[in-house]
Amino acid sequence: MFGSRQFLPFFAISLLLASALVFIPASAASSLSITVDADHNEYSFASVNGTASFVVTITNDGDDDFTNVAIDSSFDEETWLKDNVTFTYSGNNATGGMDLGGLASGALAQVTVEALVGYGAKIDMSKFVYMNLEVSADGLDFDVADTVIVVSNWKAYQSEFPGSPAVNTYDIGDSFDYQIMVENIAVDRLPGGSTQASDIMDSITVQFGGLGGWTISSEDPAWDSFQGGVLNGLQAGQIYTWNITVELSSKVKAGSADLDFQAFSVDPSDPFGFPYYQPFGMISIPVSASEMFGIKLDGAGSRDVDLSAGASVADWTVRVNNLGNTDDDFTITWDDQGVPSDWSLNVDTSGPMVTDSISWNGFYQFGVVLSVPSDALAGSTASFSMSASSNGDSAQTATQDFTATVNQHYGVSLSVDSESKENKPEQAVDFIFNITNTGNGQDTYSIYVEGPAVWNPVLSQDNITVEAVSGSQFTLSVTIPSDRDAGASSGDMVVTVTSSDGESIANSTVSATTSQVYDIGLGYVSGSDGTVSVTQETQILMKLNVTNNGNGIDTLSLAMTNAPSWASLGAETMQIGRGQTQAITITLSPDAAALSGRDYTFQVVVTSSDGSEYTSPDFSANIEVKETTGGGEVEVEDIESEDDSSTPGFGLMASLLALTTLVVLRRRA
């Protein structure tokens, strides 16, 4: 039920938007303009057994004459019969529809349409019934705006309806009298088809729409200041009149406004008790509020200025409030004689300033900032004032005062030349800290460091005295432990300084990181002196031990220098961990062109990630002449050498892999 009460008035309002439509013609030469008038725009009121009346005006606004114009009616609801619709034109009557004859260009026809609200016709809870009217002319069809039959036992209106009362202009406290009428339009049908007025028991309420600032009152006992006017039934044909008084009781926007009243009722005989809401607009009183002006200032006051972080500001958010009921702008002036010369006010005090236009009940807001230098002494003050006046009424003025005072303070800030430093194991890094006294007096600070003891963080001093708004330095030394891998971090080491007031504290966090040490060792494998003999067209393997003596993983590039073309490395790059030794294979595969009896001497060059180069001891290969014998048999010869292995039990196997002739093929002559 609550939803219905809310929906119906808004639905009714939407229907007020158009009482006439102009329809698009079939061509520029053939056109009709059709309007509908009723009790209230397109609404006609009638009770059950009553008759709703409309006047349809059809104007030929085209260039061509029409020879045959007709109007017809229909209802969407099947219980509403078109036979209950009567058309009257030029003294003639017709039921359901009517032929109007010809209509010359520029001529008009006015047709009265009367719809009988008969027994058995279905009426929904909204009480609005839509009648469809259609106009045709020489084969062209034209729709007509909705015509609405409002089925009600009553209608309410202001006494000047359908006109409007004279517009009265109000100051606050002014009042004027008006009248609201409620008319009983209910009829009963008598034998023979005639009707007579009848009593109604509807509970009818007329309420003010509640536009703020306006008060509605009446001496009539049937009118309540909160609920409005309430009638419990009306006698046959009765028109009840409320004499009401409209008073402007508080500030409203200047200018014209409409005071709208909502009328609704409940029929006690309705078993469902659905309320009926009369369309808006029939009880509307135009009024006008005269202009008034006023001003109020907000935002001033005293401020304490804290200079503990250096130069600071005192700030205010100022509002110029428009207390009038119309748009206004305001002129602002400043008096800054009480502001010290080295303090800065962000407003232009050299002349008046004018605000933007401020709507009624609105405000103009801006910030006022007083900049205070860092060297201002405790207790220093600044004072200034602001005045504003209405440009709509210069008699409306306001003033407010501002004061700022510098407090005694303690403070400290701390910075460090670098938050992270690195060095090699067993080396030290020094962090240089800058301490600044941001207070306004000499201060002594205690210094404390927290960090891992194994990194041996040591402060140059435990306390330090610093003058006001001045700075000094101290040092923190950290030693890199000898056993740390490359990239190892000390973690956070927090240096804290505390002012003598015990409350002003600053800290800074640093960390030390272990640099990577690059150191690669190259050597022969155990049991090898780097010299081998190899026969032409055979293959032999040699090995080079590579050891990472640094403190981190290293990626190595490998190449040979002075090597013959038939010598190759087993890998061009390798990654090796800290303290790890890996063997690199060198493959010798001399061909028949290798010179017998010659020693080939070469080296392996290893390049570390940091660009450092390391050259291996010399490797030497002596070429032996390949022997051939008849018979074509193949002979396999193994050449063994010893190798060094740090893994117990694998000495023999490592020796076999160090220097091995894989296959010796000999063809006997």
Q: Do 177 and 279 fall within a single domain?
A: yes
What pLDDT sits at residue 646?
Answer: 39
Q: Is the pLDDT of residue 630 over 80?
A: no
Calculate mean pLDDT across residues 73-93: 93
**What is the rounded CA–CA span in Å between residue 629 and residue 310?**
100
- Kind of pairing between the strands at 458-459 and 428-437: unpaired
**Which pair of tokens denotes residue 408?**
């005694």
**What is the rounded CA–CA span in Å between residue 361 and residue 82?**
56
What pLDDT sits at residue 12?
Answer: 36
What pLDDT sits at residue 478?
Answer: 97
Flag whether 666 is in a domain: no
What pLDDT sits at residue 439?
Answer: 82
The string of pLDDT tens digits covering residues 403-430 is 999 988 888 999 999 999 999 999 999 9
Q: Do 382 and 432 fall within a single domain?
A: no
Q: Which domain holds residue 365?
A: 296-406
Q: Do 657 and 541 fall within a single domain?
A: yes
Q: Is the pLDDT of residue 110 over 50?
A: yes
**What is the rounded CA–CA span in Å between residue 379 and residue 369?**
19
Q: Is the pLDDT of residue 130 over 90?
A: yes
| Sign, CA torsion 423/425/428/431 | positive
Q: Do 8 and 138 fall within a single domain?
A: yes
Among 365, 383, 406, identify where a domain stops. Answer: 406
The string of pLDDT tens digits covering residues 384-403 is 999 999 999 999 999 999 99
Calculate mean pLDDT across residues 84-96: 95
Q: Do 215 and 310 fall within a single domain?
A: no
CB 455 within 8 Å of CB 478: yes
Q: Do 641 and 542 fall within a single domain?
A: yes
Q: Of 271-275, 507-511, 586-590, which gets the smallest average pLDDT?
A: 271-275
How are the residues of the chain apportioned to helix, strand and coil, as percentages rounded to the nearest 5?
5, 50, 45
What pLDDT sits at residue 50?
Answer: 95
Model pTM score: 0.56
What pLDDT sits at residue 269?
Answer: 77
Q: Do 247 and 188 fall within a single domain?
A: yes
**What is the rounded CA–CA span in Å between residue 332 and residue 386?**
7
Q: How far is CA 594 from CA 287, 598, 603, 626, in A?
A: 122, 8, 18, 10
What pLDDT sits at residue 653?
Answer: 33
How far is the first Cα of the chain from the last one, in angstroms, to the nearest whole number?
A: 122
Q: Do 10 and 131 fall within a single domain?
A: yes
Flag whether 127 is in a domain: yes
Q: Do 143 and 52 fall within a single domain?
A: yes
Reported confidence tier of residue 18, pLDDT bands at 50, 70, 90: very low
Flag whether 369 is in a domain: yes
DSSP code, position 530: S
What pLDDT sits at residue 408?
Answer: 83
The string of pLDDT tens digits covering residues 258-290 is 999 999 999 887 777 789 999 999 999 999 999
Provide the mean pLDDT of the chain: 87
**Which pair of tokens denotes residue 552?**
């981190």
Q: Do 637 and 525 fall within a single domain?
A: yes
Q: Do 46 and 143 fall within a single domain?
A: yes
- Domain count within the chain: 5
- Phi and psi at 338, nearest 5°, equal -90, 10
Reported confidence tier of residue 26, pLDDT bands at 50, 70, 90: very low
What pLDDT sits at residue 268?
Answer: 81
Among 129, 151, 173, identify where a domain stops. Answer: 151
What pLDDT sits at residue 628?
Answer: 57
The string of pLDDT tens digits covering residues 308-363 is 788 999 999 999 999 999 999 999 999 999 999 999 999 998 889 999 999 998 99
Q: Is the pLDDT of residue 185 over 50?
A: yes
Among 242, 259, 289, identify where a domain stops. Answer: 289
How many C-alpha atoms does 332 have within 13 Å on its Cβ side? 23
What pLDDT sits at residue 226?
Answer: 86
Q: Is the pLDDT of residue 488 over 90?
A: yes
Q: Of 217-221, 594-598, 601-605, which gets the smallest average pLDDT?
A: 594-598
Calculate mean pLDDT across residues 73-82: 92
Reported confidence tier of residue 30, pLDDT bands at 50, 70, 90: confident
Q: How far is CA 430 from CA 368, 450, 474, 512, in A?
A: 47, 16, 10, 10
Angle of CA points 489, 492, 493, to nearest 5°: 110
Flag whether 667 is in a domain: no
What pLDDT sits at residue 20?
Answer: 36
**What is the rounded CA–CA span in Å between residue 623 and residue 538?**
10
Reported confidence tier of residue 146, pLDDT bands at 50, 70, 90: confident
Q: Do 159 and 108 fall within a single domain?
A: no
